Chains A and B, each alone.
Chain A
């Protein structure tokens, strides 16, 4: 157990270094969403609720997490294609240790995203500094787990070249189906239902609702929380199977 924990920590440290030392990952996970947060606020505030900072900042947190899926996937895919993982399999490292280490390496980046986007949002509009924001930050880690699981799954099944295209589906899904950029009112009811069932909108409202205010604990908090946890658990399970299977094949 102690040996296994030590290996997970060593792998986590390495994975974190690999991601933060990639300038592109910093641009897409931090700088681009930050730029969007500031730009969209000053361009569109007052036009729809989505661009009030209390909606925009949590929405940007959820949107930025979709890039986490991309960079987690790229890291795993490159590790597979270069035989890095095959070599580590000759050591005593096991599949679940790899999976944990990828997830643990990405969580601090998600935390930095949430804190940064809320603080910058709060500097622009101080009304979002509230108790709900303090709850939204740890909740954002739950939604991050969903995107991390997706990233591990993508990295396990896609090669380095394919992963950008496939991950863009997740990023587009988060953009279009989360309801972050346009009001839900006026949308086709079927479309609204689909958004309610899929995880994307639920990851956004899970972070938004504590800031905007929870009027119904079940629909505003527990339901989206359970949906996100269920999707995260399901995709993690599939990702673990895919990763283990791929490693055996390699």
Chain B
């Protein structure tokens, strides 16, 4: 059974089609990157899959559970890190972890275990007592992503996880995401081509709500007749590969 399967998934707003007839399968343990320019439909797709917004028509299945009918079951299997840093600003790092773990129903012992795991994976123990609002942008983003792991999800949605970070912080987060790959299915949206290239097992390219391509980067290069991901992406969204 695929981790995620969408069937003719459509999301329409008043006069815009944000996502059009999306048919996609993502396997368990895969890191799938969604690429696209602004307004391509990446975040809307993630929001539908994470049960944050209802599709206009069509359906998607998370480990067989419908996003239309089984939102409660799906919420137990997933977590999300939005593109904005989403932390409790006046709580310190340790309190943030305790807060999210407590909210997800963990016992005191489980919360302690979770803290140990998060501290180790993200090296957040270095700033455990610091308020989130006092952390640098890179540490805040690390914390924001770390909090999505507190619930130990089977599927993790990362919406532009490295947006606005400096190159060092970005590389650090890449290493963390790579380390997570073996434990869960990850769906990542990004504007950074090199990020998708470095991290992904497969890549999806979206434009104006349409999924133009889904496959490995090698397949993307072959389809576009290019040798690097930036050229391939430009060729794909400018219509060359699609029309040709």
Binding site for B on A (CB under 8 A): 3, 6-7, 10-11, 14, 17-18, 21-22, 78, 81-84, 86-93, 248, 250
B178 close to chain A: CB less than 8 A = no
Residue of A nearest to B131 (CB): A21
Q: Are B99 and A10 in contact (CB under 8 A)?
A: yes
- 8 pairs from A and B in contact (CB 8 Å cutoff): A83-B84, A84-B86, A87-B86, A87-B147, A88-B103, A89-B52, A90-B75, A91-B103
B75, B87, B102, B131: the one contacting A10 at CB < 8 Å is: B102
Chain B interface residue count, CB cutoff 8 Å, equals 32
B85 close to chain A: CB less than 8 A = yes
A10, A22, A83, A250: the one contacting B103 at CB < 8 Å is: A10
Q: Are A87 and B80 in contact (CB under 8 A)?
A: yes
A/B pair count, beta carbons within 8 Å? 67
A78 to B85 Cα, complex, angstroms? 12
A204 to B89 Cα, complex, angstroms? 34
6 nearest CB pairs, A to B: A83-B82, A21-B90, A83-B86, A83-B84, A87-B86, A18-B90
B176 close to chain A: CB less than 8 A = no
Q: A3-B105, A10-B99, A17-B95 are in contact. Are A90 and B50 (CB under 8 A)?
A: yes
A18, A81, A91: the one contacting B88 at CB < 8 Å is: A18
Q: Are B84 and A82 in contact (CB under 8 A)?
A: yes
> Which A residues lie within 8 Å of B87 (CB)?
82, 84
Q: Are B90 and A91 in contact (CB under 8 A)?
A: no
Q: Which of A3, A82, A248 has the most CB of B within 10 A?
A: A82
Q: How far is the CB of A94 from chain B (nearest CB, A)?
A: 10
Residue of B nearest to A85 (CB): B86
B162 close to chain A: CB less than 8 A = no
Q: Are B75 and A91 in contact (CB under 8 A)?
A: yes
Q: Are B50 and A18 in contact (CB under 8 A)?
A: no
Interface residues as binary, B87-113 with A (CB distance below 8 Å gives 1, 0 otherwise): 111110001000110111100000000
A165 to B32 Cα, complex, angstroms? 44
A172 to B84 Cα, complex, angstroms? 34
B72 close to chain A: CB less than 8 A = yes
